[in-house]
């Protein structure tokens, strides 16, 4: 649009998007450049100084005839009043500050507005603008979109791959804590699970007491009262594995010095590190590595054996295997947790396997190939034992072992896979199950229906899809996504 068209539009309803704040600041700049006071210009154009002040502050839409008078008095063309660039850096700062203070974000904070005048020092103006920019950035990050959440997951997974999912500093902290409560090897140097008693000793060592309650605030697994040094767990967590894990995760956040996360990325990173430390406490590095090396020498590596030996869940055992396999066994691997619909819930790899990804590199929410072990296992009748399978892919053959676990609303598969050359160390290496996958590059592998089915049903099938509106929503707000702070505070208040 031309500048003259913008000038004409001010006589209408400003539908063309005339920037009244920028217009006013430019008039003020040109007036001062001519060494004219507000009264001087007002007298020259035949208006009251108060009306001209409203124009310069972007609070009044001028008529075209008045703009022409102003331009003539200031010795410029009308179009020059509508320049796209602010006339000076200070003017740019004033415009940004004024726009921010009139915006919905600033209004929602219920803060007093700063009066912008020539008496406001430029350095103060710069500080105010910088503060508002940072506030906006943080609020936008906390209201993370699903895409931002996936990007945070991708960045963390890249870090884990670079470290082979092994964090020596967390291993050292776990060893130090276990030594403090005298949790060492059993008779004959044999490993032994971390008991409830020892977990409670660890809490006491760190200055915490434990209380069970019938109900915790929604979306919380535990609540820590930092003032009174109490960790609250729910009575529903009566299983030995759940109770220990939840307690250790709560303690891990305190040991690692975590504070309220500033954004979703920090929240996710804190959670992963706390879970890692909890796993290292339940399955100590030396004891678990000794156990795995013995199994490797016997060519009897099996995730379920880690589960049984340390009294943990299969998922915890699988995660712990990925921590130690490359560092201590020289085995690269990948892990998957897949929903029964085929959607990837979470995954990790450092063995070259390729997961389907979106444009940002995220794998969460992508559909895994139906030929892979993590999908095939859902159709296996024998759910008591693990299902083992070789899968030929364009990048080579991978051996995988998988199980399914039912949760409150769904069933997931948990799988660990390794390149063919490492399969010789695992118990299920002799499996006769084998499949072939061309995913994710070839959609005809499993994402496009076979021609014979398409010929019969294409254009004749109309499924009623579920409207997963949560996929369109922003991440739950708050430092701890989805947690109602008031509910947590009232819970703690009621415990006093």
Residue pLDDT, tens place only, 391-407: 999 999 999 999 999 87
The pLDDT of residue 471: 53
Tens digit of each residue's pLDDT (9 = 90 or more) over 321-346: 999 999 999 999 999 999 999 999 99
Residue 30: pLDDT band with limits 50, 70, 90: confident
For every residue of the chain, which 3-state class applies, written as one string?
A: CCHHHHHHHCCCCCCCCCCHHHHHHHHHHHHHHCCCCHHHHHHHHCCCHHHHHHHHCCCCCCCHHHHHHHHHHHCCCHHHHHCCCCCCHHHHHHHHHHHHHHCHHHHHHCCCCCCCCCCCCHHHHHHHHHHHHHHHHHHHHHCCCHHHHHHHHHHHHHHHHHCCCCCHHHHHHHHHHHHHCCCCCCHHHCCCCCCHHHHHHHHHHCCCEEEEECCCCCCCCCEEECCCCEEEEECCCCCHHHHHHHHHHHHHHHHCCCCCCCCHHHHHHHHHHHHHHHHHHHCCHHHHHHHHHHHHHCCCECHHHHHHHHCCCHHHHHHHHHHHHHHHHCCCCEEEEEECCCEEEEEEECCCCCCCCCCCCCCCCCECCCCCHHHHHHHCCCCCCCEEEEEEECCEEEEEEEEEEECCCCEEEEEEEEEHHHHHHEHHHHCCCEEECCCCCCCCCCCCCCHHHHHHHCCCCCCCCCCCHHHCCCCCCCCCCCCCHHHHHHHHHHHC
Average of per-residue pLDDT across 161-179: 96
Contact 350, 332 (CB under 8 A): yes
Q: How far apart (Å, rounded) are the C-alpha atoms in residues 100 and 85?
A: 18
Q: Could you give all domains of the chain from N- to C-terminal order, each with its CATH number?
A: 3-142 (1.10.260.40), 148-436 (1.10.10.2910)
Q: Which residues are within 8 A (CB) of 106 and not within 5 positions of it... i.e. 6 or more apart?
A: 100, 113, 132
How many CA atoms lie within 13 Å of 330's alpha carbon, on the beta-carbon side?
A: 6
The pLDDT assigned to 15 comes to 42
Overall size of the chain counted in residues = 496
pLDDT score of 463 more than 90: no
d(CA 392, CA 371): 10
Chain CA centroid to CA 248, Å: 22
d(CA 381, CA 373): 14
The pLDDT of residue 434 is 97
Q: Is residue 52 over pLDDT 90?
A: no
- Is 50 exceeded by the pLDDT of residue 18? yes
Q: Which residue has the higher pLDDT, 102 or 256?
A: 256
Dist. CA 186–CA 401, nearest whole Å: 30
Contact predicate 399/406, CB 8 Å: no
Say if CB 70 and CB 81 are below 8 A apart. yes
Phi, psi of 251 (to 5 degrees): -65, -35
- pLDDT at position 8 is 41
The residue behind tokens 């919905």 is 104
The average pLDDT across 218-230 equals 91
Instruction: Check residues 216 and 467 and name the one with the higher pLDDT.
Output: 216
- Average pLDDT in the chain: 85
Report the range out of 41-50, 203-212, 408-417 with the highest average pLDDT.
Answer: 203-212
Tens digits of residue pLDDT in 174-204: 999 999 999 876 555 567 789 999 999 999 9
Report the pLDDT averaged over residues 135-153.
Answer: 70
> Encoding tokens for residue 24?
């006013």
Best mean pLDDT range from 16-30, 181-195, 217-231, 473-487:
217-231
Residue 435 has pLDDT above 60, yes or no: yes
pLDDT for the residue 326: 98
Name, of 95-99, 143-147, 330-334, the range with top average pLDDT.
330-334
The reply to whether omega before 491 is within 30° of 0 (cis) is no
Better pLDDT: 272 or 1: 272
More confident: 86 or 306? 306
At 470 the pLDDT is 52
Q: What separation in angstroms does the CA of 375 have from each of 359, 408, 410, 418, 455? A: 23, 20, 14, 16, 26
Stronger pLDDT, 65 or 398, i.e. the higher one? 398
Could you give the count of Cα atoms lying within 13 Å of 43 in the half-sphere of its Cβ? 5
What pLDDT shows up at residue 296? Answer: 98
pLDDT of residue 240: 40
Give the pLDDT confidence score for residue 88 in this predicted structure. Answer: 81
Q: Read off the pLDDT band of 239 (50, 70, 90).
A: very low
Please tell me the pTM assigned to this model: 0.71
Share of the chain above pLDDT 90, in %: 47
Q: How far apart are CA 319 and CA 165, in angstroms?
A: 9
Percent of the chain with pLDDT strictly greater than 70: 87
**Nearest CA among 326, 316, 322, 320 for reference residue 334:** 322
pLDDT digits (tens, 9 = 90+) for 248-302: 999 999 999 999 888 788 989 999 999 999 999 999 999 999 999 999 999 999 9
| Mean pLDDT, rounded, for 19-36 | 84
Q: What's the confidence (pLDDT) of residue 218?
A: 87
């Amino acid at each position: 649009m031309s500048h003259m068209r913008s000038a004409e539009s001010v006589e209408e309803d400003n539908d063309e998007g005339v920037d009244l704040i920028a217009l006013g600041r430019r008039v003020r700049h040109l007036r001062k450049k001519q060494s004219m006071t507000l009264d001087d210009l007002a007298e020259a154009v035949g208006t009251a100084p108060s009306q001209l002040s409203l124009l310069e502050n972007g609070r009044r839409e001028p008529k075209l005839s008045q703009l022409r008078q102003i331009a003539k008095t200031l010795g410029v063309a009308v179009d020059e009043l509508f320049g796209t660039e602010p006339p000076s850096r200070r003017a740019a700062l004033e415009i940004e500050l004024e726009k921010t203070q009139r915006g919905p974000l600033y209004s929602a904070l219920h803060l007093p507005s700063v009066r912008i005048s020539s008496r406001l020092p430029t350095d103060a103006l710069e500080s105010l603008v910088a503060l508002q920019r940072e506030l906006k950035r943080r609020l936008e990050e906390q209201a993370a979109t699903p895409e931002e959440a996936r990007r945070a997951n991708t960045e963390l997974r890249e870090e884990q791959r670079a470290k082979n999912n092994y964090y020596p500093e967390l291993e050292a902290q776990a060893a130090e804590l276990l030594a403090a409560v005298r949790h060492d090897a059993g008779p004959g140097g044999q490993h032994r699970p971390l008991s409830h008693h020892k977990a409670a000793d660890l809490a006491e060592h760190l200055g915490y007491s434990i209380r069970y309650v019938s109900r915790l605030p929604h979306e919380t697994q535990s609540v820590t009262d930092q003032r009174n040094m109490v960790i609250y767990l729910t009575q529903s967590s009566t299983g030995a594995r759940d109770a220990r894990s939840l307690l250790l995760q709560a303690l891990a956040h305190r040991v690692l010095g975590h504070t309220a996360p500033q954004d979703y990325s920090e929240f996710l990173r804190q959670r992963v590190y706390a879970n890692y430390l909890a796993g290292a406490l339940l399955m100590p590095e030396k004891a678990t590595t000794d156990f795995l090396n013995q199994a490797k020498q016997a060519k009897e590596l099996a995730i379920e054996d880690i589960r049984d030996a340390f009294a943990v869940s299969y998922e915890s055992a699988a995660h712990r295997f990925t921590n130690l396999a490359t560092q201590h066994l020289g085995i690269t691997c990948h892990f998957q947790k897949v929903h029964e619909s085929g959607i990837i819930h979470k995954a990790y790899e450092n063995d070259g396997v390729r997961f389907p990804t979106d444009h940002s590199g995220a794998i969460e929410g992508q559909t895994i190939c139906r030929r892979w072990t993590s999908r095939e296992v859902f159709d296996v009748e024998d759910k008591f034992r693990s299902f083992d399978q070789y899968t030929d892919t364009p990048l080579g053959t991978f051996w995988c072992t998988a199980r399914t676990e039912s949760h409150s609303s769904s069933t997931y598969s948990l799988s660990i896979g390794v390149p063919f050359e490492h399969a010789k160390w695992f118990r299920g290496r002799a499996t006769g199950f084998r499949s072939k996958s061309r995913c994710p590059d070839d959609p005809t592998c499993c994402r496009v229906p076979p021609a014979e089915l398409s010929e019969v049903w294409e254009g004749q099938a109309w499924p009623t899809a579920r409207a997963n509106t949560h996929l369109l929503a922003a991440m739950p707000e708050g430092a701890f996504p989805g947690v109602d702070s008031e509910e947590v505070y009232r819970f703690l208040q009621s415990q006093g």
